[in-house]
Amino acid sequence: MTLSIDTPAQRLHALRQVMTEQGIDAWLVPSSDPHLSEYLPGHWQGREWLTGFTGSVGTLLVTRDFAGLWVDSRYWVQADKELAGSGIEMMKVAQGQQILAPIDWLAVNHSDHATLGLDGAVLPLAAHRAFRDRLGEAVTITSERDLLEEIWPDRPALPQAPVTAHDAAFTGQSRAERLAQLRQAMNEANADTHLISTLDDIAWLFNLRGSDVDYNPVFLAHALVDTHHTRLFIDQDKVPASLSEALADDGVMLHDYAEAVDALARLPEATRLLIDPARVTLSLFTALPGHVTLIEAFQPTTLAKACKHDDEIAHVRAAMARDGAALCRFLCWLEATLATDETITELTIDARLTAERTRGKHFISRSFPTIAGFNANGALPHYHATETAHSTIEGQGLLLIDSGAQYLDGTTDITRVIPVGAPTPAQKADYTRVLKGMMALSRTRFPDGLEAPRLDAIARAPLWEAGLDYGHGTGHGVGYFLNVHEGPQVISRGAQPTPQTAMREGMITSIEPGLYRPGQWGIRIENLVANRRVTDDIEPGADTFIEFETLTLCPIDTCLIEPSLLRDDEIRWLDDYHHTVFERLAPGLDDETRSWLAEKTQPLAR
C-alpha cells in the first residue's frame, strides 16, 4: 500500500480498497480486543486509528458509500468534534446498544446478498449470534481476516510489560484455593474443562498482576483449566523464572500466548467445555473441534472475583483512607491556590492530584484517565483535557474532578465538584438534587440477590421530580487492585436485570448520579460502596437484606448545597458521613490539611 494514510479520510479510503478486493460490502470495527477489554493495548485500537475518535466506547461501520460511528450520549459532543472532516457520521445510540445498533442500520440499508466483514478475534461470540439473528440469511458474515493488518503500516506491537505476583499479604486466598474453587464450580456445571480469556479474571485467578493495559493491572493471556491441569497461555518472556517455578508448584504450566487457538483445536473427545458466550470471542469458538460438548454458562470467576472477602474489604478501607488523605491534601492546596494569582489549568489538576496520591503507600498508578472539567467541559461526562485543548480554572464556575488510583490493596474511583467563586442558585439547586440521588441510593436496603439495574431509579428519582435526568448509568462494579469497571453488577436502566447482575454480599460498586447542562456545567457526585448483610432491625427468620457501606472518604462540598431542598434525615446522613470522614482521616493529616478538613466536615446549617 503506497497511498498516504495520515488522516481518517485516507484510512477509510484504504480500507474500502481492501474491502473491494475481498468482496466485502460492510466492515465492522468494535472497540474491543481478543479479551473483550474496556481499555485496549495500542495494537487493538483500530477504531480510534481509523476514525480519530478517542472515546473509550464506539462501534464503526464502513460501507462503500457510508461510514458511521455509533456512540452513546456520554460521547455525542466529543464525537461530533473529533469526527469533523473525517467523512464519518456520528450515529447517536442508546447507552449499552453500541454493538447491535450498526447491525440494525445494516439490516435496513444493505443491498441484496451483502457481505459483512469483521475480525472474529475481537468479537464476542454472543454478539456474533445476535448479528446472525438480526441479519438472517440475506447477509453473509465473514470473520476470518483482520483487514487492519493490510492497511496499518505502523501498527503497535503487543505489549511486553513484566508479570508479577500480587503480594500474598493482600490476596486473601492462595492460587491453589482459587483454582480449587473454580474446579468445584466446573463440576457443579458438569464441565471438565473451562476456557477463560478475560484479563481481570485471569489476574484474579492466578494472583498475578501486570501492566499490558493502561490503568488496569492485567496482562495478555488465556487460561485453560481442566480437572487435573492448568494451562496459562502468555508471552513467557514476561514471567520471571522464580514466578514460573511458583506457578509450576501450583500445577500451572506456561505456554506461548499464540498457542491458545491450537490448544482448543486439540481438545480430546468427550471434553465437556464450559464457556461464557459473552466472554469469549468468535475466533476461539470456531477453533473448537466438533466432538467437544459445549456447556454455556456464566463464567464462575466473574462472580467469585466480584464478591470480596472480609479481609479484602478491610484492605480496601485502608486504601480508601490513604486515597482520601491524598484528596484532602490536594483540595486544601487547590482552595488556597485559587485565592492567589497562580495559574491553574485542568492539566494542573491531574498532575497535582496524581502527585499527592503517589506520596501514599502502595500506590501503583491512576485507575483511569483523570477527568478534570471546568464549566462547559464538566458537562462532557468523559471529557479529557489535553495539551492542545484545556481550560484555565478562573472566574466563576464549577470544577468536576473524577479520578481514581490503583493501590496494592485496592482500587479507588471518586468524583467531587468544587465551586470556583460564588455558586449561583441554579448551580446549587442542580448540585443538591444530584446529592439527594446519591444519598437516596447510599441509604437503600434491598433483598440479597436483587438485580442491580433495578436500583437505578432510586438515584434518579430526586432529579425526575424536577424533570431532569442523566444519560449514563448510576453505578458499576469495581475490582480489587484490578479493573476500575468490573462486572457482573451494574446499576443502570440501560442494562437488563438478569440473574447474573444480582447484588451479593462483598461486592464493591460506585454510586454516581449526575446532571449536565451542555455549554454551562456538569455535576456528578460519586462514592464507592460495599454490599454488606443487614444484621440489625431484622425479625427472626426474615429474608436476608443487603445495605451499603460507604467506603470513599472525602468531604462533599457543602458550599454548593441548597439546604432548603434537603430533608432532616438527609442532613443527618451527610453530617454522619462527614463525621466519619474526619474521624478516619484527621490522624494522618498535617496540621494545615487537618484544619481545612475540620472546616469542610462541619455539620450542615439550615
What pLDDT digit, counting tens, does each position of 374-387 carry? 999 999 988 888 89
Q: Tell me the mean pLDDT in the region 287-311.
A: 96
Cell numbers linked to 327: 484528596
Work out the pLDDT band at 602, boundaries 50, 70, 90: very high
Determine the Cα–Cα distance for residues 606 and 255; give it in Å rounded to an integer. 65
Q: What pLDDT is recorded for position 361?
A: 95
> How would you class 313 by CB atoms within 10 Å of its CB: exposed for 0-12, middle for 13-18, buried for 19 or more?
buried
- As a CATH number, domain 307-597 is 3.90.230.10
% of the chain beyond a pLDDT of 70: 98
For the whole model, what pTM was predicted?
0.93
**CA-based angle 538:543:548, to the nearest 5?**
70
Number of Cβ atoms within 10 Å of the Cβ of 547: 17
Output DSSP code: residue 109: H
Q: Tell me the mean pLDDT in the region 254-272.
A: 96
What pLDDT digit, counting tens, does each position of 345-368 carry? 999 999 999 999 999 999 999 999
Q: Which residue has the higher pLDDT, 419 or 56?
A: 419
What pLDDT digit, counting tens, does each position of 5-53 carry? 889 999 999 999 999 999 999 999 999 999 999 889 999 999 999 999 9
What pLDDT digit, counting tens, does each position of 271-280 carry? 999 999 999 9
**pLDDT score of 2 more than 50:** no
**Ramachandran assignment for 307, one of left (phi > 0), alpha (psi -120 to 50 degrees), beta (any other):** beta
Contacts of 542 (CB under 8 A, 6+ apart): none
Q: 261, 258, 260: which is closest to 237 by C-alpha?
A: 258
Q: Tell me the mean pLDDT in the region 247-254.
A: 97
Q: What pLDDT is recorded for position 94?
A: 72
**pLDDT score of 96 more than 60:** no
Q: What pLDDT is recorded for position 444?
A: 97
Q: Tell me the mean pLDDT in the region 320-333.
A: 98
Q: What pLDDT is recorded for position 33?
A: 95
Q: Tell me the mean pLDDT in the region 504-530.
A: 97
Can you list the positions of beta strands (E) in 290-370? 293-296, 363-366
Upper half-sphere CA count for residue 131 (Cβ side, 13 Å): 23
Q: What pLDDT is recorded for position 99?
A: 65
**pLDDT score of 95 more than 70:** no
Q: Tell me the mean pLDDT in the region 195-213.
A: 97
Cite the residue boundaries of each domain of the chain with CATH code 3.40.350.10. Answer: 8-151, 164-299
Q: Which residue has the higher pLDDT, 61 or 94?
A: 61
Q: What pLDDT is recorded for position 1?
A: 42
Work out the pLDDT band at 112, boundaries 50, 70, 90: confident
Q: What pLDDT is recorded for position 536?
A: 82
Q: What pLDDT is recorded for position 541?
A: 64
Q: 145, 84, 476: which is closest to 69 by C-alpha?
A: 84
Q: Tell me the mean pLDDT in the region 402-407.
A: 98
Q: Tell me the mean pLDDT in the region 83-90.
A: 92
Q: Tell me the mean pLDDT in the region 224-238.
A: 97
- As a CATH number, domain 8-151 is 3.40.350.10
**pLDDT score of 98 more than 70:** no
Q: If you average pLDDT over every residue of the chain, what do you get?
A: 94
Helix or strand holding residue 401 (H, E)? strand 397-403
Sign of CA dihedral 554, 556, 557, 558: negative
The stretches of 83-226 forming alpha helices (DSSP H) are: 101-109, 125-135, 148-151, 168-171, 175-188, 199-206
Contact by Cβ (8 Å): 555, 583? no
- As a CATH number, domain 164-299 is 3.40.350.10
Contact by Cβ (8 Å): 469, 463? yes
Q: Which amino acid is at 276?
A: D
**pLDDT score of 255 more than 90:** yes
**pLDDT score of 3 more than 70:** no
What pLDDT digit, counting tens, does each position of 419-474 carry? 999 999 999 999 999 999 999 999 999 999 999 999 999 999 999 999 999 999 99
**pLDDT score of 540 more than 80:** no
**pLDDT score of 337 more than 60:** yes
